[in-house]
Every structure is written in structure tokens, then in C-alpha cells.
Amino acid sequence: MRLNLTLTPSTEPVPYDHLHQLTGALHKWIGPDNNLHDGLSLYSFGWLKRSTGTKDGLLFPKGADWRVSFYQSEAAKACMDGMLTDPTVAYGMRVAEAKEQRAPSFSAPHTFKVDSPVLARQTREDGSRAHLTWDDPDADAALTRTLRTKLSASGIDVDPSAVHVQFDRSYAHPKTKLVRIKQTQHRASMCPVIIDGPPEALRFAWLVGIGDLTGSGFGALQ
């Protein structure tokens, strides 16, 4: 299930590196007993929309739009219940409205626009991780591997080997963004992705996102 949230205006500048605050709001709403923090992220969230950039940070004078998606319906319900109890997000913003959206049907292959930068990573021999951007052919294998792992973990009746992901390199305006989560910087790509596979797998990807750290604000799909 996807939740399309409308937030009230911010009352102070929002730092550019605020993603961990959004993650914190989600975990607050779902509750301390949730298994989302340490487990494989079967959820995703996009970036706040309708901002105005300044030297002091982002401003949301007319409020913000925020998309949050969960594969597990019980997590979505817990999130909704948490919002009713405490609708605060951060920087003076609160949830003013929440609308549920069911996963639509997709035919494969389908090109998805992204709602947040896609993070593709590959483990090196020394154990460190290389960040792979949209123009690196190895990025496709990394994205495919991550989605297949999540499919296997979900228990959904889909053959993971039938699913393939790649960046849409015909897109005219791909970008990379250096995104900081607390003290760690990640190089991610603002570029659509093409997903091929069974319809159930495409709906699953629409909810859980693509690539690494979808639970921290990367790889959400529109």
C-alpha cells in the first residue's frame, strides 16, 4: 500500500541532509516493536515535494507532498495509526492528510520514474562498497540482485530469476546526487529504471523501491 501524505508548511528551514529525520518519523509512527529498522527494507519513501531552496536550507511555505509505500499491509496500518496519535514529522511540519493508494497493474517491461535517487552498490574484494551510477553497466546487475533478494525474502510467488532491472539510459537528463545520511555520503542516480518480469514483481517494486537503502530515502518509484 502507498500512502500519499500532505504535510503542513514548515516553520523553520529544513536542512538539506534531513532524510534521517523522515526515517525517524516513520519508525515513530510504526512503533518501537517494528522490524523495519534492522530487517530488509520492504518499504520505501520519496523525497518531500514543493520545496524552495535557500542558503539556509529548504522551505515549504505551502506545505509538502510525501509518498510512503509498504509491501506489508500491517506496517502501513500501523503507520496510519501512529500518524493519528502523533502527526508531527519535523521542522514544524505535520501530516494534514493521508490518502491510501493501491498498487496499480503494470505490463512488462515498464519504465518507472523515480521519486528519490537510486543507490546501486557493489561489494569490493576488501569488503568496502563501490557506488555505481546510472552510466555504469555493473549498476544494472546490482539493482537486479537487490530486487531479487527482496522478492525471495517477501515470500511472494514469483521466480526471482525472471526479474531484471536496468537504468533507462535513453533518458535525456540523468543526474547523480551526493546524498548525506548523518555522517555518510552516498552517490546516487536520478534516472528512470526499466523493470522486466511478472506483473506481481513490478507491483512489488513499485512499493519497496529499487536499489539499496530504500528505507532511508533512496530508490522510491513514482
- Identify whether the C-beta of residue 205 lies closer than 8 Å to the C-beta of residue 111: no
DSSP label at residue 5: E
Residue found under cell 513490478: 202
Residue 172 lies in a domain: yes
pTM of the model: 0.93
Q: What is the pLDDT along the chain (222 residues), one digit of tens a residue?
A: 999 999 999 999 999 999 999 999 999 999 876 666 556 789 999 999 999 999 999 999 999 999 999 999 899 999 999 999 999 999 999 999 999 999 899 999 999 999 999 999 998 888 888 999 999 999 999 999 999 999 999 989 999 999 999 999 999 999 999 999 988 899 999 999 999 999 999 999 999 999 999 999 999 999
Q: How far is CA 81 from CA 26, 29, 73, 103, 110, in A?
A: 11, 7, 12, 20, 33
Residue 163 lies in a domain: yes
Q: Which CATH number fits the domain that encloses residue 167?
A: 3.30.70.1900
Same domain? 183 vs 128: yes
The C-alpha cell that represents 94 in the structure block: 505535520
Same domain? 95 vs 155: no
Q: Give me the pLDDT at residue 49, please.
A: 97
- Identify whether the C-beta of residue 116 lies closer than 8 Å to the C-beta of residue 45: yes
Closest CA to 120 of 55, 64, 191, 54: 191
Residue 143 lies in a domain: yes
The C-alpha cell that represents 123 in the structure block: 561489494
Closest CA to 102 of 222, 3, 197: 3
- Count of domains in the chain? 2
Same domain? 20 vs 86: yes
Residue 63 lies in a domain: yes
Q: Give me the pLDDT at residue 37, please.
A: 52
Q: Give me the pLDDT at residue 182, please.
A: 83
Q: Give me the pLDDT at residue 34, please.
A: 62
Query: Which range marks the domain in which residue 126 is found?
Result: 110-216
Same domain? 47 vs 66: yes
DSSP label at residue 215: G
Helix or strand run (H / E) with residue 66: strand 64-70
- Identify whether the C-beta of residue 87 lies closer than 8 Å to the C-beta of residue 98: no
